[in-house]
Amino acid sequence: MTEPIWSPCIQVCFVDPDKQICVGCFRTLEELGRWTKMSPAERERLRPVFDARRADYEAARKRS
């Protein structure tokens, strides 16, 4: 039996056309496409990147 794949997905799938990221999970289109092919270590390394993208995105929305 295989271990489940961790995912930041919150089932709110909407890609910001300017940023080219999903504003639900904050993955890029490339990351979304490769997600199941990445190793667990690769996915884990991206976890703080998603948090940073979310913070940047939310800060930019507040400024506009």
Say how far apart CA 27 and CA 50 lie, in whole Å: 7
Q: With beta carbons less than 8 A apart as the criterion, state whether 36 and 5 touch.
A: yes
Checking if the pLDDT of 57 tops 90, the result is yes
Asked whether residue 7 is assigned to any structural domain, the reply reads no
Q: With beta carbons less than 8 A apart as the criterion, state whether 56 and 23 touch.
A: no
46: Cβ contacts below 8 Å, ≥ 6 apart: 27, 31
Q: What is the pLDDT of residue 1?
A: 66
Q: Could you list the residue range(s) of the whole structural domain that residue 21 is in?
A: 15-63
Asked whether residue 20 is assigned to any structural domain, the reply reads yes
* Interval 21-32: pLDDT, tens: 999 999 999 999
State the CB neighbour count (10 A cutoff) for residue 54: 16
Asked whether residue 22 is assigned to any structural domain, the reply reads yes
Asked whether residue 5 is assigned to any structural domain, the reply reads no
Asked whether residue 10 is assigned to any structural domain, the reply reads no
Specify the pTM: 0.87
Asked whether residue 1 is assigned to any structural domain, the reply reads no
The total number of structural domains that make up the chain: 1
pLDDT band at 3 (very low <50, low <70, confident <90, very high): confident
* Interval 11-51: pLDDT, tens: 999 999 998 999 999 999 999 999 999 999 999 999 999 99
Asked whether residue 40 is assigned to any structural domain, the reply reads yes
Asked whether residue 3 is assigned to any structural domain, the reply reads no
